[in-house]
Amino acid sequence: MAVLALTREQSERIVQDGWIGSEFFVPVAWPPDLVAAGEDVVFGGSPGQWREAQDHESLEFASYSQGTCVSDVGINSFMCVCRREFWVKASGLRDVDSLTDYGGLSGGPAFVWRNLHWDFAGVVREHLPNTDAIRIAHARLIASDGTIIE
């Protein structure tokens, strides 16, 4: 997991240069409330299985995201089961059925839908292939200064 501190000027330049969307996500409050079983979450990242060398100077990091619900909540993390029978391909060039390994999603963000806004919920930690579940570390493990709380 990586947390970066950016000045206002740095963030404006990143947006201006088109490196990311039109704005940064800003949490409503810090630390955010913990998620509860049954809440709707989305998470995303760049699966290693979909990373490809384009030429000797560039790589393509195809993105993947999924909406699901929280199945289990622990002290440091929560789980979401990936139910492939309900997958719907919304857009993109990749065949989601070909995604057999979520390796590489670690570090990707997860958000929970609350009160008409998306709240930062945590960071993807690992894929558990035997249950096809994703473990997500609670956002509360990141202190307000960006350090990781052990």
Split at pLDDT 50, 70, 90, the class of 2 is: low
Total domains present in the chain: 1
- DSSP code of 57? T
Is residue 104 a part of any domain in this protein? yes
* 134 found inside a domain: yes
Q: Is residue 64's pLDDT more than 80?
A: no
Percent of the chain with pLDDT over 70: 82
Does 57 reside within a domain?
yes
Mean pLDDT, to the nearest integer, of 57-62?
Answer: 78
Percentage, residues of the chain above pLDDT 90 = 22
Amino acid at 2: A
Residue 85 domain boundaries: 28-141
Could you tell me if residue 41 is inside a domain? yes
Q: Are 80 and 112 in contact (CB under 8 A)?
A: no
Residue 126's identity, in one-letter code, is: E
Q: Looking at the domain assignment, is residue 39 inside a domain?
A: yes
Question: In this structure, what CATH number is given to the domain that contains residue 78?
Answer: 2.40.10.10
Assess if residue 137 is contained within a domain.
yes
**Residue 51, Cβ neighbours under 10 Å: how many?**
12
Residue 149 included in any domain? no
Question: What are residue 79's DSSP bridge partners?
Answer: 72, 135
Helix or strand holding residue 125 (H, E): strand 117-128
Note the pLDDT tens digit of each residue in 73-83: 999 999 998 87
- Is 22 domain-assigned? no
